[in-house]
Structures are given as C-alpha cells and as structure tokens.
Amino acid sequence: MRLREDTRAEEHIGRRDLTAWPTALGRLFVRGVLALSVWVTANVVLALLIGAAAAVVVGLTVASGEIYDAVEDGDGVAAWDRPVLDRAIDARTATNMRVVTWFTTLGGPVWMTVIAAGITLGMTLLWRSWTPLVLMLVAVGGSLLMTTVGKSLVGRVRPPQVDAVPPFESSPSFPSGHTLNSTVIAAMVAYLLLRRLGTSWARVLTMVLAVGWAVTMGLSRVFLGHHWLTDVAVGWTLGLAWVGALILAHRLFLTLRRSHRAAAA
C-alpha cells in the first residue's frame, strides 16, 4: 500500500487554513523558511525544523529542572506538593484506589506504547497517509527523550512509599513520564483528528477528550502518591510545548509545499 501526502482538505481545521499566518511575526518567519527552501526540499526543511524544535524543547527540559531547583530552595511552587498529596491521601478509598491504579497503568510504558502504536497504525492505514506515522513517531521519541533528560538532570526523589499506593516505582520523580507522554500522545492525536473532522461538535469533543485524558492521567499520579504535583505540572507544560513545536513545524511544511506547487503551476 502506497502512503500519500496530506490532501488540501487536511490543510484546514474547520475554516482555519493551517497555511495562513495572520500575524506579522508569523509572516516574517514564513518568509525566512521560504528563503531556506530555495536550497533544499520541503521534506528537508521539515526535518531541520523538527530538529530545531527538539533542541529547543530539550533546552526547556533543562531549564525546567533549574527552575524547579530554584522554587524548591525558596519554598515556591514546590511548597504546594505536600499539602496536595495530603489532600489526596485523605480522599482515598479502597475502591477509588483500585480504579485509579488501573487507569494510571494505561499511561505506563507498556500500555501507552500499545495504545499509541494502535492509534497510529489505524490512522495510517485508514487514511493511507504517512503524516500520522511520522508525526507520532517524532512526538513520542521527543517525549521519551525529555523524560530521560529531565529525570537524569534533576534526580528528584518520589514521595515516600508510606504515602504511595503499590505497585511502587523507583525511577526519579521529575518530570512525570506518565503525564508527559500521555499529554504528547493525546495532543498529537487530537491535532491529527481535528484536520479530518467536518463538524464543530466533533472537534470540540475531540479536544475535551484529549484534555481530559492528559489532566486525569497527571492527577492520578498525584492521587496515588507516585509523583509530586510539580512533577505533573512540568509534564503537562513540556508536553504541550513539544507538540506545539511539532505542529508549528508541520504547518510550515504545509505552507512550503503549497508555495512550491503554486510556483510550479
């Protein structure tokens, strides 16, 4: 089966043209990318943009570790961690702990990989498009890289086991890998779906489900005592930053491809 490129319809989300840049800064950026494309193909430009986005987001991961150290030393945002965990402990029951433990397992390395692979394969085969395959592979790869870099740099200790619900985890706590990876996958799936959904209610439902999945997964980690609140918050922000960078790169690619087609016509 031969995979195709995006169609003209997939260059839109509803009435929003993804190749249109309404701001002056956006148009300036596009002109710079178009100038670069004189020397290389649109695919090479996309690869360069993704590489640059990866470097920026890894830099954000390092910066988040530095910011965490600063607020912890100064009793800043990290001062919320213990009170929030105490509230979670008070809210636990035998039933909700079993349900939340089952749910949080879906965000782990095994089931999240299975879910992401299944969704990616389904979109690729159903749409006969290479876009879901490439974007999801890059998104997940970057997410795993950010998780590894963040944990190794900060090395934060997880909440005490006496406050956690088994099974216990031993890897560093910052950032929350479950949260970061779930946020990236949910956001990228939403972006891919939004470009193909024809009704507003379907797009709204997709966004609600994606946000609900990422938020609930993050809160489940705090509820079970597997992470501090700040671990989860950074997972959300890094995940959104990475997906945002990838969407920007993809929009630039679509803009570049349309420009090349217009020039060749």
The arithmetic mean of pLDDT across residues 144-162, rounded, is 86
163-191: pLDDT as tens digits: 999 988 888 888 899 999 999 999 999 99
Phi-psi region at 166: left, alpha or beta (left = phi > 0; alpha = psi -120 to 50):
beta
Q: Which two tokens stand for residue 130?
A: 């290479």
Distances (CA, A) of 123 to 108, 184, 211: 22, 17, 20
Q: Which helix (H) or strand (E) holds 206?
A: helix 200-223
Contact 130, 2 (CB under 8 A): no
Residue the block writes with tokens 């100064």: 74
Nearest to 121 by CA among 106, 137, 145: 137
**Residue 156 · residue 174 · CB < 8 Å:** yes
CA distance 258 to 262: 6
> Mind listing the pLDDT tens digit for each residue in 30-88?
887 777 766 666 667 667 777 777 777 777 776 666 666 655 555 555 678 889 999 99
How many CB atoms within 10 Å of residue 205? 13
* pLDDT tens track for 212-248: 999 999 999 999 999 999 899 889 988 998 999 899 8
Side chain identity at residue 53, one-letter code: A
Kindly state the DSSP code that residue 80 receives in the 8-state scheme: G
214 and 182 in contact (C-beta within 8 Å)? yes
Confidence (pTM)? 0.89
